[in-house]
Amino acid sequence: MALNRFMHPRNIYKDSPPRFKELAEQYPDLKAFLVERPGEPAATSHKSIVSLDFENPAALRSLTCALLRRDFNLDIDLPLTKLIPTVPSRLNYLLWIEDLLHAHKIDLPLPGGVLGLDIGSGASCIYALLGWRKNGWSFVTTEADEEALRFAQQNVVKNGAAEKITVLPAYGSSHLLETVKSTGREFQFCMCNPPFFGSLAERDEKASYKPPKHACNPVAETDAVVEGGEVAFVSQMIGESVQLSDKIKIYSSMLGKKSSVAPLKAILDAQKIPYTTTEFCQGRTMRWGLAWSHCLDMKSVTVVNPHKAPDRPLTYEIDFGSKSETDRMRVCLKVMELLEKNLKMYLVSERGGKERSQWRVSALKNLWSNQRRKRREEKNLKAAEEDVEMGDGESVVESSLSRSSSRTPDSTDEAKINAKYLIQFHLTIKSDSMKYAMELRWIDGENREYLHSIVVYLKNQLQEFLQR
C-alpha cells in the first residue's frame, strides 16, 4: 500500500485500510482467502500478519463485496470472468468528481438532483451505485458487453436503485452522443473508465503497465481492450462532447496509462477546450484523471489537492460516561435536526457506520450568529406567553414578538440554492469508548470563523438537550 498516503484525503480507506481478519469475522466468505505470515523479525509482539490471497480473483471479489456491504450497504453479484473493481480506487475517481462539482457549485441539491453519466458501467455498476448511495446522485450508465450489462442491471435492481440508476446498452459506435440524445436529459457530469489497450498483445507487452500481482484476474477482453486503446476512446468522447456542448457540464475520463495524458491534452489544447488533470494513487497503482468542459473554466478550478493534508478539524467531545447505540443515535438525530431544521442547512450523507458517520454540510444563510441574543428573546417570549396564559394581557406578547429578530427561513432559500453558499464543511460523529466526538472540518466558504460559531451553537444546544 505504498501510495496510500497520497490517496484522496476524503477516501475512507486512506488512513484505515481494510483489516482482513476483522472483516472476515463479519463476512465469513473471506475466511477461505486469508493468508497468514510471520510478523517482521524486528517486531516485539511476534504477531503474525494476516493478508489476503490477492492472486485469487475469488478473494478479490469477496473483498470488494464485503467492503461495499460493510461501508456502503451495497450488495452486488459479480462474475469472475469480468473486471473486479477495487473499492478504494473507484472512490478516488468519484471523490474527484465531487471536488469538480463542488468547485463549480453544481453539487448542491439541484431541483432534479445531480445526474451523472457513466460510460462502461462494468458488471459491478460500481460508480453509479457508489455515487447514488454516497451522494444521492442519479445516473444513466451504458455498457457494451452483454453479460456485464445484465449483471449491472441486476445489481441496480438488487439494491433498490432502479428509480435512480438506468443501465442502457451502449449505442453502436457512439460513446456519448446517442445516449444523451435518447434520454433527452442534461447531465452535470460524465465519467468513464475505458478499456486501456489497443490489443491484448499491447496489454501484455506494455512496459508502462505492470499490473500488480494482486490486481490480475481473468479480465474479459472487452474490459481491457478497445480499438485504438484509451486515447482513441477518449478522443472520440472529446469529439462527441463538442456536439453536445453544455448538455453535460463536466466531461471526464480516467486514464490507465500516463502516456495517454499528453496526446489527449494536445487534442483539447488544439480546440481551446479548458481542461484539468489529476493523479489517482492507490496501493501500488497509479491512474490519471482528465476532465474538460464547454461551459466552465476548468483551468481556474482548485480542487481539493490529494497531496495536501486537510485542515485540522474543530472538535467537540461529548462525554456520556456510558456507551450505547441508542445514545449515539439520539445525538446524531439531534445534530441533524439542529442543522437541517434550525439552521436550514443541506446535508449529504457521505458515510454511515456504527462507529462513524459523516456528512457534507452546506449553509446558505447565517442563522447561527447572535444565538445568545435570540435565546434571550425566546426566553422573554416564553415568559410573556406564560403571562398571557395567566391572563396578564396581550400587549406584552405583541411587544415581545415584535422585538424578536429570530426568523424562519422561507421557501425562497430553495430557489437560491445555486447561489454561493456561505460555508461548506464536513461533519463527522465518531464514537470511541466512553466518548462521542463531533468533528467539523472546513471545506470552503466565505469565512472560517463561521465554523467556530457553528461549533459553539451546536455545543450550547446539545448541552441543553443532554441535560434534559
Ligand X SMILES: C[S@@+](CC[C@H](N)C(=O)[O-])C[C@H]1O[C@@H](n2cnc3c(N)ncnc32)[C@H](O)[C@@H]1O
- What's the rounded Cα separation, in Å, for the pair 372 and 459? 12
> Which of 110, 11, 91, 102 minimizes the C-alpha distance to 302?
102
DSSP state of 416: T
Known binding residue 143? Answer is yes
Kindly give the pairing relationship between strand 187-192 and strand 346-352.
Answer: unpaired
Number of alpha helices (DSSP H) and beta strands (DSSP E) in the chain: 15, 14
198 is a site residue for ligand X (CB under 6 A): no
Q: Which residue shows C-alpha cell 469508548?
A: 433
If the CB atoms of residues 193 and 282 are measured against ligand X, the closer one turns out to be: 193
Among 9, 57, 85, 116, binds ligand X (CB under 6 A): 85
Please tell me whether residue 381 binds ligand X under the rule CB under 6 A: no
**Residue 116 sits in the site that holds ligand X (CB under 6 A):** no
Per-residue x/- track, 148-177, ligand X (CB under 6 A): x---------------------x----x--
Q: Which stretch binds ligand X (CB under 6 A): 139-147, 371-379, 390-398, 441-449?
A: 139-147
Residue 120 annotated as binding?
A: yes
Of 10 and 175, nearer to ligand X (C-beta) is 175
Number of residues that bind ligand X (CB under 6 A): 22
Residue 312 marked in a binding site: no
Specify the residue, 110 or 216, whose C-beta has the smaller distance to ligand X.
216
Question: Which single residue is written with the C-alpha cell 441543553?
Answer: 464
Residues 24-83 that bind ligand X (CB under 6 A): 83
Sign of CA dihedral 101, 103, 105, 109: positive
Give 126 or 335: the residue with its C-beta nearer to ligand X. 126
Residue 90 or 294: which CB sits closer to ligand X?
90
Which of 142, 260, 357, 371 contacts ligand X by CB under 6 A?
A: 142
Of 107, 143, 240, 439, the residue at the interface with ligand X (CB under 6 A) is 143
Angle between helices 449-467 and 325-337 (to 10 degrees): 130
Question: In whole angstroms, what is the distance from residue 236 CA to residue 252 CA?
Answer: 12
Q: Which of 24, 101, 119, 176 binds ligand X (CB under 6 A)?
A: 119
Binding piece for ligand X, criterion CB under 6 A, among 21-29, 137-145, 210-218, 447-455:
137-145
Least distance CB 220 / ligand X (angstroms): 7
Nearer to ligand X, 223 or 350 (CB): 223
Burial class for 449, CB neighbours closer than 10 Å (0-12, 13-18, 19+): exposed
Q: Residue 391 annotated as binding? A: no
| Strand spans (E) along 245-374 | 248-255, 275-282, 285-292, 314-319, 346-352, 356-363
Binding string, 218-257, against ligand X, x = CB under 6 A? ----xx--x-------------------------------
Residue 356: strand, helix, or coil: strand
Per CB under 6 A, the segment of 43-51, 117-125, 323-331, 399-407 that binds ligand X is: 117-125
Q: How far is the CB of 223 from ligand X (least distance, A)?
A: 4
The residue (of 145 and 439) whose beta carbon lies closer to ligand X is 145
Q: CB burial class (10 A; 0-12, 13-18, 19+) of residue 438?
A: buried
Q: Are strands 165-169 and 248-255 parallel, antiparallel or unpaired?
A: unpaired
In terms of residues, how long is the chain? 468
Query: What cell was used for 458?
Result: 451546536
Which lies closer to ligand X via its Cβ, residue 287 or residue 360? 287
Q: How far is CA 113 from CA 76, 116, 194, 337, 417, in A?
A: 24, 10, 26, 22, 12
* CA-wise closest residue to 445 among 10, 11, 9, 105: 105
Residues that bind ligand X (CB under 6 A): 83, 85, 90, 119-122, 124, 126-127, 142-145, 148, 170, 175, 193, 195, 222-223, 226
